[in-house]
Copies of this chain bind each other. A is one copy, B any other.
Amino acid sequence: MHKEKEATIYDLAKALKLSPSTVSRGLKDHPEISKSTKKKISQMAKQMEYRSNTFASNLRKQRTHTIGVIVPRLSSYFVATVLAGMEKVANEKGYNLIISQSLESEKKEIANAKTMFNNRVDGLLVSLAFDTKDVHHFTNFIQKNIPLVFFDRVYEHRQCMSVVIDNFKNGHAVTSHLIEQGCKRITHITGNLHRNVYKERFEGYKKALHDAGLVYSNELLMVTEMNEQAGIDAGNTILKMKKMPDGIFLANDVTAANCMRVLKQNGIKIPQDIAIAGFNNDPITRVVEPNLTTVNYPGYEMGIIAATSLINHLDGVSNILTTNKIVVKSELIIRESSLRK
């Protein structure tokens, strides 16, 4: 592999009989440079195919204009939409995104955080893995005042911002809706309860049962990996129950859709025998039959909000610490899988 020699501001300066500093200033529209020299400089830059060297600039300025993103996995619709929002903002504001996935493992998350740290990202956007216990691996960032924004799966920390939805309220709303439809025995299938999203949905679920005078018992709860297979397994487990539920609230749509399919294949009528609700408003909810009741989770918007907040802070436009929790609007979407009337 062979590298061509790149033109530098020195080369431009020589060609224009100017000093490198003038060229540097001219290139970045400094007010103290005359219009005419600016024009000359940018013309010559084009002619010599000059491109600014980000690394020299970063080195000098001690900034990287790079933001690290750590997500549980790339292959989920929700994550993909969040990233799309982040990418849009970053692109517009001249930042780059370095994306990595923890694959739901704390160990990998720690390694990723370290890589991000060594790459001197200017800031970090994080959604935590299933089994992350604490956030020691981010103390590096906090100590060095590198801003950290959590989204979706967050860890409340007074020096970090969070972008979330109201999981409690939505969990409550889903459950209350199932109760209104006549469900008396509602199973909740969810993920690791250390994670805020699952914990709060669960709390909302319990509160709704309580509010309606229904009794919660542990056998109504199933903690799973919340993927395709978990949905299938959950369906099979339910089929084997002595006392089957008449309603199921699953904490995500992929699991819900797969669970529903297993139940239907075994002769269960949805929603007559069992009413089902998921969470996320994944496109999958609109192709399964019956269409799945769910909660709209505005990933794209959240990505935009998280990235904008971080970048505004980095650019000195606003101070991230003034608001350290943003709750994005979300709402129940009722469809046939839970509609009995």
Contacts and interface: CB of A to CB of B under 8 A. Distances in A.
Interface stretch (A18-26, A27-35, A76-84): A76-84
Contacts of A7: none
B287 A120 contact: no
A51 B118 contact: yes
A115 interface: yes
Contact of A314 (B1, B83, B313): B1
Given A75-B81, A80-B80, A84-B73, A284 B284 contact: yes
A260 B287 CA distance: 9
Q: How many of chain A's residues touch chain B, expressed as a range?
A: 35 or more
A83 B76 CA distance: 12
A97 B99 CA distance: 7
A52 interface: yes
Residue of A64, A77, A80, A81 with most partner-chain B CB within 10 A: A80
A74 B80 contact: yes
A84 B75 contact: yes
A71 to B, nearest CB: 10
Interface string A69-101: 000011111011101100100010000111111
A283 B254 CA distance: 9
B3 A144 contact: yes
Given A75-B84, A145-B2, A287 B286 contact: no
A283 B64 contact: no
A53 B120 contact: yes
B83 A74 contact: yes
B287 A144 contact: no
Interface stretch (A9-17, A54-62, A182-190, A205-213): A54-62
A118 B62 CA distance: 18
A143 B62 CA distance: 31
Interface in A144-159: 144-145, 147
11 contacts: A3-B145, A51-B117, A55-B55, A55-B56, A75-B81, A76-B80, A84-B101, A99-B99, A258-B287, A264-B289, A284-B284
